[in-house]
């Protein structure tokens, strides 16, 4: 082969390798970003599960029977009043 042809093929090969390297770099950058987002999401979920466990342990619920349950509803202080139509 002539020296020009060899140089042309080597340049073409170098160009292909360079484009493949750029493609792989872009994909690696994307994967790093996705990996960081995944780690953040995992940390949030772990934080929520631990906080729910501690909050559930700290909260005490006491139910008291209201003796005045049959009183009229104070319509001025309620945000949602259910009234059924009878016709």
Q: Which of 64, 48, 44 has the alpha carbon at shortest distance from 56?
A: 48
What mean pLDDT comes out for the span 40-55?
82
| Residue 48 pLDDT level (bands cut at 50, 70, 90) | confident
| Residue 44 pLDDT level (bands cut at 50, 70, 90) | very high
Give the Cα separation of 16 and 9 in Å (integer). Answer: 11
Q: How far is CA 34 from CA 20, 37, 38, in A?
A: 21, 5, 6
| Residue 63 pLDDT level (bands cut at 50, 70, 90) | low
**Between 33 and 84, the higher pLDDT residue:** 33
Please determine, for residue 76, whether its predicted confidence score (pLDDT) is greater than 80: no
Residues sharing a CB contact under 8 Å with residue 39, sequence separation 6 or more, in sequence order: none
């Amino acid at each position: 082969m002539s020296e020009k042809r060899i140089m042309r093929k080597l340049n073409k090969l170098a160009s292909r390798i360079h484009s493949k390297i750029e493609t792989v770099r872009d994909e690696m950058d994307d994967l790093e970003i996705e990996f960081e987002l995944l780690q953040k999401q995992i940390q949030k979920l772990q934080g929520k599960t631990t906080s729910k466990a501690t909050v559930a342990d700290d909260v005490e619920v006491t139910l008291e029977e209201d003796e005045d349950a049959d009183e009229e509803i104070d319509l001025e202080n309620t945000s949602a009043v259910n009234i059924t139509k009878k016709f």
